[in-house]
Amino acid sequence: MSLNEFSIIERYFYSLGKRKGVSLGVGDDCAILDIPADKQLVTTVDTLVEARHFPLSCSPGDVAQRALRVNLSDIAAMGAVPHWFTLALTLQTPNEKWLHSFSEALESDALKFDCTLVGGDLTQGPLSITIQVFGTVDKNQAIKRTGLGLGDHIYVTGKLGAAAAAIACFEKSTQPMSLISNKVSEHLHNKFFRPEPRIKEGIILRNIASAAIDISDGLIADLNHILRSKSYGADIEFKLVPYEDFLIDIADKDLIQEWTLTGGDDYELCFTVPEKNIDLLERLIYEKKIHACYIGKVTENPGIRCYDDQGNLLNLGKSGYQHF
Amino acid sequence: MSLNEFSIIERYFYSLGKRKGVSLGVGDDCAILDIPADKQLVTTVDTLVEARHFPLSCSPGDVAQRALRVNLSDIAAMGAVPHWFTLALTLQTPNEKWLHSFSEALESDALKFDCTLVGGDLTQGPLSITIQVFGTVDKNQAIKRTGLGLGDHIYVTGKLGAAAAAIACFEKSTQPMSLISNKVSEHLHNKFFRPEPRIKEGIILRNIASAAIDISDGLIADLNHILRSKSYGADIEFKLVPYEDFLIDIADKDLIQEWTLTGGDDYELCFTVPEKNIDLLERLIYEKKIHACYIGKVTENPGIRCYDDQGNLLNLGKSGYQHF
């Protein structure tokens, strides 16, 4: 069967758009969405380009899920709830097998995160995927990057470093990589392509955090984005920064430090908490309502200083992912 | 000065995001937008890929304006009012001159159409521009593609055929093209890169049209999108279909017919009007409140038939733009 734009949309993408809260979805000039009167609309967009953001050999399902999840992570960083998304897909040649795997994986994640496809565009060209996610948040309750204060405590959710290790693994550029087991390799692959957007954590943090960001460019670079808005700095203790346990089996101290501090792509949240909310947050951590670690404090002195066990300053080298 | 993602956003795109109705725009994880309680959100996305949607030689300002306007045209087709947009820009190598022209032209159109940049993404790869526009419409007042009825009159705004003539001109595939004057060539160029989104017309048509679509794939193909939703057909009289006067100077009858009926890219509106609203519409046309022409009627018999002056059926050949 020959595939054209309309038959592709009908066969592979219509079923993703048949759900709640959509007045008009896939198939008209625009989508029409109802935003409840007590909510604000929150929206974000990210493009993944073949060879730049994912390896050429990578499976369509992996690409689809990563493309959706990196956007969901931005929604999470605002303390918002995702509801809908659009997909602008550029393909060199339409291929039934590719489209089937891509749309199936996308549908699976769309269901998992309760996020409905409401429109998009399909064009011919070098493979790239642009997803725009729409969510809502109670009025004036979103966590912004600019709310932090002097002396605020800095926290990170989950564990860092796995995504950077995965990239090293794809590139086979790191010697110890040859030693990793299939199980670790699969874990790395999953961490890179299926990062867990911290939506639940973002919602909890809405009344606790003064600022939040998702770690896409690396802990130091992203923390810097928050600090810059107020010309503040931060003191970080490396021993407090949480990283994946298995990294010590596959890399030396310097590499672990690099992956953890500047690696990026883990999509955990980095957030700041004012003194008055620390007890509440620590109780939620103790009760396992949220998995997060204290890593340092916001300072008046600009720049980020990271100290090792002996109190020596670490050399942070490159400070984060640069898109150019 | 070296250009990275953040310096590019700051230098070229911040000034586009400093306007009304935006709680939080460029520079956070997400944009936050306020949708008034009596409105619905309307949104659409379109990607332009180099060499596929615009010639390699084309100026950055032309690309920027076309990318925004084709999206505004979708908003117009719903009878909605555009307010905000996001830009996902993929560039091979950042170039100050290119970025300056691109952002300057985009800003000029953003001001003209009162549409504010609220976020985006900047990535490295083959040149492509994905714009998503957001608008609002009074609750349940949007014009959908599916509202048409049997016997409805079919209308088209403006004049068709110039964009298809422009493409033939770019491709230099058409013999008579060598005869066109610089003035006509410039006019064609403008019609292609700066189509006029029919926003004012869409708003007027909200209480008049039963269905509307913007003509991007060609009159026949787009009219067919409307008709398909009800399995209806249409009878069209070619002599009533409005096309640019200057086409007769540069092309023969068959070519004019092809450009007008199947050419696409003109971004005029094709809409249907029920009997009860005809008088009102015709009065608005007479008073020059809206520029539109009657071209035919919706029929029970599926398919589109186009007749010439003698009542003979025209052969419509290819029926519209196929993206693959």
DSSP B55-111: -TT--HHHHHHHHHHHHHHHHHHTT-EEEEEEEEEEESS--HHHHHHHHHHHHHHHH
* Mutation target among A9, A28, A53, A230 for the B interface, most CBs of B within 10 A: A28
Structure-model confidence comparison of residues B256 and B2, the more confident one: B256
* Closest residue to B52, CB basis, from A29, A120, A124: A124
Rounded to 10 degrees, the C-alpha dihedral B143/B147/B149/B152 comes to 10
Whether residue B35 is predicted with pLDDT greater than 60 in this model: the reply is yes
ipTM of the complex: 0.89
User: Looking at per-residue confidence, does B227 or B179 come out higher?
Assistant: B227
Instruction: Give B134's contacts in chain A (Cβ within 8 Å).
Output: 41, 43
Three-state SS at B320: coil
Determine the residue of chain B that is closest to A147 in CA distance.
B28
Work out the burial of residue A185: count CB atoms within 10 Å of its CB; fewer than 13 is exposed, 13-18 middle, 19 or more buried.
middle
- Cβ distance A43 to B49 less than 8 Å, yes or no, reads no
Cα(A134)–Cα(A207) distance, integer angstroms: 21
Q: What was the pLDDT predicted at B295?
A: 98
Q: What is the pLDDT of residue A177?
A: 55
Q: For residues A48 and A102, give the distance between their C-alpha atoms in angstroms, rounded to a whole number.
A: 14
- For residues B107 and B24, give the distance between their C-alpha atoms in angstroms, rounded to a whole number: 18
**Residue A130 above 80 pLDDT?**
yes
Strand duo A269-273 + A303-307: pairing:
unpaired
Q: Which comes out higher in pLDDT, residue A30 or A321?
A: A30
Question: If DSSP codes are grouped into helix, strand and coil, which group holds residue B233?
Answer: strand
Residues of A whose CB is below 8 A from B88? 45-47, 88, 130, 132
3-state DSSP helix/strand/coil percent for chain A, to nearest 5? 35, 25, 35
Q: ∠A184-A186-A95 over CA atoms, to 5°?
A: 160
Distance (Å) from the alpha carbon of A265 to chain B's nearest alpha carbon: 14
Return the percentage of chain A with pLDDT > 70, whole number: 92
How do residues B89-127 score in pLDDT, each as one tens digit?
999 988 899 999 999 999 999 999 999 999 999 999 999
Q: What domains, with CATH codes, occur in chain A?
A: 5-138 (3.30.1330.10), 153-307 (3.90.650.10)
CB atoms within 10 A of CB B287: 8
- Helices (H) then strands (E): counts for chain A: 10, 12
Long-range contacts of A51-55 (CB under 8 A, 24+ apart): A51/B125, A52/B123, A52/B124, A52/B125, A53/B123, A54/A193, A55/A170
CB within 8 Å: A28 and B145: yes
Q: What per-residue confidence (pLDDT) applies to B320?
A: 52
CB-nearest to A3 from B53, B214, B324 is B324
B1: confidence class by pLDDT, cuts 50, 70, 90: very low
- Residue B43 and residue A118: Cβ atoms within 8 Å? yes
Answer whether A78 sits within 8 Å of B32, measured CB to CB: yes
Cross-chain residue pair B77–A135, CB shorter than 8 Å: no
A147-161 tens-digit pLDDT? 899 999 999 999 999
With CB atoms and an 8 Å threshold, state whether B78 touches A23.
no
Q: In A, which residues are within 8 Å of B8 by CB distance? A: 324
Residues 6+ apart with CB under 8 A from B237: B295, B296, B306, B307
Could you tell me which chain B residue has the CA closest to the CA of A121?
A: B46
Pairwise CB contact (< 8 Å): B324 & A124: yes
Chain B residue with minimal CA distance to A89? B47
* Chain A interface mutation, best of B29, B118, B228, highest count of A Cβ atoms under 10 Å: B29
Is B45–A78 a contact, with Cβ atoms under 8 angstroms apart?
no
Rounded to the nearest integer, the mean pLDDT of chain A is 90
Phi, psi of B71 (to 5 degrees): -75, -40
Q: For residue range B288-309, what is the model confidence (pLDDT) as tens digits? A: 999 999 999 999 999 999 999 8
B162 phi, psi to nearest 5 deg: -70, -40
Please determine, for residue B323, whether its predicted confidence score (pLDDT) is greater than 90: no
Closest listed residue to residue B67, CA positions, set A126, A135, A121, A53: A121
Smallest CA–CA separation between B241 and chain A, in Å? 22
Q: A319: burial class by Cβ within 10 Å (0-12, 13-18, 19+)?
A: middle
Task: For residue range B162-213, list pLDDT tens digits in order.
Answer: 999 988 887 765 555 556 777 888 888 899 999 999 999 999 999 999 999 9
Distance, in Å, from the CA atom of A71 to the CA atom of A197, rounded to the nearest integer, reads 8
**A39-96 pLDDT, tens digit each:** 999 999 999 999 888 887 789 999 999 999 999 999 999 999 999 999 999 999 888 9
How far is the C-alpha of B223 from the C-alpha of A71, rounded, in Å?
A: 35
CB contacts of A125 in chain B (<8 Å) are: 47, 49-52, 126, 128
Interchain CB distance below 8 Å, A145 and B46:
no
Contacts of A80 in chain B (CB under 8 A): 30
The nearest CA of chain B is from the CA of A203 a distance in Å of: 15
Smallest Cβ–Cβ distance between B121 and the set A46, A86, A125 belongs to A46
